[in-house]
Amino acid sequence: MTVSTVGVIGAGQMGNGIAHVMSLAGYEVYMNDVNPAALEASLGLIEKNMVRQLNSGRITEAEQTAALARIKRTTNLEELGDCDLIIEAATEDEKIKQKIFDSLLPHLSAHTILTSNTSSISITRLASRTDRPERFLGFHFMNPVPVMQLVELIRGIATDQETYDICLEVVNRLGKTAASAEDFPAFIVNRILMPMINEAVYTLYEGVGSVQSIDQSMRLGANHPMGPLELADFIGLDTCLAIMNVLHDGLADTKYRPCPLLTKYVEAGWLGRKTKRGFYDYRGEFPVPTR
C-alpha cells in the first residue's frame, strides 16, 4: 500500500507539527480536534512556521501554498475513516487515547493503519483494544516536529512487517531518520532523557544547585544545547511527570520515582512555557528562574 492521505488527531503542539511536515511532503492531511478554536490556531501556527522556512530558503512560496492547501480541518473523527494512515497525537493520557480509538474504529477503512505519537505508553496495550493490532504502530515524532530529524517507530507484539515498512517509507519521504524501538516503557529517547530531567529536578529539590546553576552546568559542562530544567519547561512538566509515572509503574524500579518537586509544580499548574510558568517564569521580557 502507498500512503497518500494522513489523518492527524490532535491540533496541539505535536499535531500541528506533524500536519506541517506531512503536508510539505505531499500528503493530503485531515487534521482533527474536538476544539474548533484549536484547529484554527493550529493552522495559523503552521503558516507562521512555514514562513520561517520560506524566509530561510528551505522551502519555496509555491511549496508553502501547495502544502497549506493540502490541510483540511475537521472536528468529526469519522471524516478520517478513509485515510491510509492515522496518527493520534492527543495528550499523553492512555484513557483519552483509548477513547479516541474506540470512537474511531467504527468508521475506519479495512486498509487504514493506526498509529500513536505516544512518547511512553505501551503500543501493544493500545493496539489490543482495536480491531487491527497487526496494523498498529508507535509513530513518535520529536518536538519541534519540523526541526527534529528523528522519528521512533515502535512495534507492538502483533505489529506486522508490512505495517512497519509502510511507515518507514513515510518517514523516509519526510526526509527524517527512523529509529526502531522495542515496546518497553518510554522506548529509547525518553527512557534515557526523562530520568536525566528527573534527576535535575532532584538536584534542585535537594538544594545541590539553583535552576540557573543546574542548567548552566549542563549547557557548559556537558555541551547540551538546553539545560535540563529549561528543556523540561519546553516539553511540559505534565508530560515529563506522565512519562516518569509510566517508567515507574511499568518497570517497577525506584530509580524512576518522580521527584516530589516535579509533582508539586504540576499540581500548581506551573507546566512550563505553555502556562508561562515552570522552572522559569516566562511572563516578562526574559525568563526568570522560579527557584
Catalytic residue among 88, 152, 198, 230: 152
> Does residue 20 carry a catalytic annotation?
no
Region of 276 on the Ramachandran plot (φ > 0 left; ψ -120 to 50 alpha; else beta): left
> Does residue 128 carry a catalytic annotation?
no
d(CA 43, CA 134): 33
Dihedral pair phi/psi, residue 7, rounded to 5°: -95, 135
Catalytic residue among 16, 116, 122, 190: 190
> Does residue 190 carry a catalytic annotation?
yes
Among 117, 172, 170, 114, smallest CA distance to 141 is for 117
CB half-sphere exposure, 245, CA atoms < 13 A: 13
d(CA 69, CA 50): 13
Catalytic residue among 32, 88, 120, 140: 140
52: which residues sit within 8 A by CB, 6+ positions away?
Answer: none
Catalytic residue among 116, 119, 122, 198: 119
Cell numbers found for residue 8: 492527524
> Does residue 248 carry a catalytic annotation?
no
d(CA 15, CA 45): 11
Q: Which sequence positions are flagged as catalytic?
A: 119, 140, 152, 190
